[in-house]
Amino acid sequence: MVTSVLELMHQGGWVMWALLAFSVVALAAAVERGFALRKARAEPEEYLSRLRHLLLERRSVTEALEYSETMPGTIARVAEAGLRRFSRSTTQLEKALERRAQGEVRRLYRGLGILATTATTAPLLGFLGTVTGMMASFHVLADAGITNPGLVALGIKEALTTTAAGLVVAVPVQITHNALMSRVERITGDVEAVANFLLEVREELAS
């Protein structure tokens, strides 16, 4: 197995090593983002339910703030920033929520660019290997004619190897990127929900 992989790397030339480097970096980014986003969306329904109870039934901003400080997750961090400005004007509350939400959302997207770049670049590298492999084949064909078809076939094999490798890297990376983006969108929706909830409660308590 190891020998066959090394043979493929040798057959594909430098493009295969470039694809390997991209795939390793993409794998590291995917694992890190997977854990980070899982932590960022820690039990949002339970948190929002408890937050509603503390603010609407117990009417205790202090308890809601203390509860938010102990909870993990992006929406708890956004709510915490809003609850610290809860007694101030609605405009100040909106600004506090907006600033914190923007910062948290930027953190959610961190690292996803690596996956998007890999998914886009890997097929291009594969196609580049195709071009260089075919160039090598035509060069051999021009020098030796059709007397040595094995050398021509070697260049064609290199071309096909890199094309396949580029797609093998790009497809799972693209799927992973889409899945993680879906998580980010769900968390962003949770952030909007908690921000709107705090603004509604602020208006209700102020009236």
Question: Is 29 among the domain residues?
Answer: yes
C-beta neighbour count of 95 within 10 angstroms: 15
Instruction: For residues 25 and 183, give the distance between their C-alpha atoms in angstroms, rounded to a whole number.
Output: 21
Query: Domain span at residue 184?
Result: 15-206
pLDDT at 122: 94
Question: Is 2 among the domain residues?
Answer: no
Which H or E run includes 1? none
pLDDT at 16: 86
Domain count, the chain: 1
Question: Is 67 among the domain residues?
Answer: yes
Question: Is 87 among the domain residues?
Answer: yes
pLDDT at 34: 94
pLDDT at 3: 44
Q: How far is CA 49 from CA 21, 65, 131, in A?
A: 45, 14, 58
pLDDT at 33: 95
Instruction: For residues 107 and 137, give the distance between their C-alpha atoms in angstroms, rounded to a whole number.
Output: 48
Low-confidence ranges of the chain (pLDDT < 50): 1-3
Q: Which two tokens stand for residue 201?
A: 């409660």
Question: Is 3 among the domain residues?
Answer: no
Ordered DSSP codes for 14-42? HHHHHHHHHHHHHHHHHHHHHHHHHHHTS
Question: Is 84 among the domain residues?
Answer: yes
Backbone angles phi, psi at 9, to 5 degrees: -60, -40
Q: Which two tokens stand for residue 139?
A: 């060069």
